[in-house]
Amino acid sequence: MRVLVTGGAGFIGANFVHWTRAHRPDVEVVVLDALTYAADGSSLGSARDEVELVHGDIADNALVDRLVKDADQVFHFAAETHNDNSLADPSPFVHTNVVGTFSLLEAVRRHGVRLHHVSTDEVYGDLELDDPARFTEATPYNPSSPYSATKAGSDLLVRAWVRSFGISATISNCSNNYGPYQHVEKFIPRQITNVIDGIAPKLYGDGLNVRDWIHVDDHNAAVWTIAEKGRSGETYLIGADGEQTNRDVVSAVLRELGQPEDAYELVRDRPGHDRRYAIDSSKLRGELGWRPTYADFSSGLRATIAWYRDNQDWWRPQKAATEAKYAQLNQ
């Protein structure tokens, strides 16, 4: 089996390549990645010798056509992914997330190749802190940011291509991932690397926003489960019951690194900041039998903190520029 992995040099995509080599050793992997600021070829590590890494844009129709034609399955991770960046400049988000997904859809349609589209719980908007509800596959779409709006648009394109053109495709919407190789612009790596550098972690607003954390390996195991056992046209929500306030996450990072747990700073809030995400993953668990292996967020977080402490060569080149960008926003 030959799979095309878009965005395979990014955080989740690179971990997906490692997961695939460990659990599906017979699968041949081709990565298509534009190698934007968010990518790092070194995240592929030893896999670099065994996977083909094609440097290119998912919106390049001719290139995408050639790569899709030779694949049995496409795993579509490539995207612009950071909400704060989408508020500063939405344009690359529309290009990659909407136009890029369109280009892939046309190619899988021409060549009859199955697609798994990787998406986010942010398409559903947010929940109140005191609302007992969680997102399900039936929750109406209500995205808040340019990032989540373009991801919502891409999901709807996939659904339309299944219904109107009969392509074979599955969709997953996952909650917040953590683990190795995540860019230092994102919340958990930013705060771990701040504390390592003696900088106070920065919490937006009152720090009480809630995210539903899942380890990246559990996300990737679920993606394989859905691609292998899921029904075409169906959406599956992926989550590991990992709701935490941002303040609790930062306090846990501070504690683990030997600092007082309230040594954080409250900074300017993100405009349109979603209050809470929470996933009900009963459909995935009940129909396809998936279960997370990192049931305990604190042990997964501890392992992630250790990874950033031990792999400073990987993140240091990005750190100063990332913090300079945040400083301009007073964040």
Residue numbers annotated as active site: 121-122, 147
* Shortest separation between residue 84's beta carbon and ligand NAD, angstroms: 12
- Considering only residues 25 through 84, tell me which ones interact with ligand DAU, judged by CB under 6 A: 81-83
Which helix (DSSP H) or strand (DSSP E) does residue 30 occupy? strand 28-33
Among residues 3, 20, 29, 33, the one that binds ligand NAD under rule CB under 6 A:
33
The one-character DSSP state at 44 is G
Binding partner of residue 39 among ligand DAU, ligand NAD, none, CB cut-off 5 to 8 Å per kind: ligand NAD
Q: For tokens 């019951």, what's the residue?
A: 241
Instruction: Give which of ligand DAU, ligand NAD, none residue 57 binds (C-beta under 5 to 8 Å, depending on kind).
Output: ligand NAD
Task: Give the residue, chosen from 21, 27, 28, 35, that forms a contact with ligand NAD under the rule CB under 6 A.
Answer: 35
CB distance 247 to 264 below 8 Å: yes
Residue among 3, 17, 47, 79 that touches ligand NAD (CB under 6 A): 79
Q: Which does 117 bind (CB under 5 to 8 A by kind): ligand DAU, ligand NAD, none?
A: none
Q: Give the span between the Cα atoms of 214 and 301, in whole angstroms.
A: 10
The span from the CA of 226 to the CA of 171, in Å, is 8
- The closest of 129, 95, 117, 111 to 245, measured between CA atoms, is 129
- Residue among 38, 84, 80 at smallest CA distance from 331: 84
144 binds ligand DAU (CB under 6 A): no
Length of the chain: 331
Q: Could you list the beta-strand ranges (E) of 155-297.
A: 169-174, 177-178, 202-204, 210-212, 214-215, 235-238, 243-245, 265-267
Which 3 state secondary structure label does DSSP give 258? coil
39 binds ligand NAD (CB under 6 A): yes
Rounded Cα gap, residues 86 and 14, in angstroms: 22
Binding piece for ligand NAD, criterion CB under 6 A, among 11-19, 45-53, 254-262, 286-294? 11-19
Minimum separation from the CB atom of position 261 to ligand NAD (A): 24
Interacting residue ranges for ligand DAU, rule: CB under 6 A: 81-83, 120-122, 175-176, 186-187, 190, 202-204, 209, 211, 246, 270, 277
Where along the sequence are the contacts to ligand NAD (CB under 6 A)? 6-7, 9-13, 32-36, 38-39, 57-59, 77-81, 96, 100, 118, 120, 151, 174, 176-177, 183
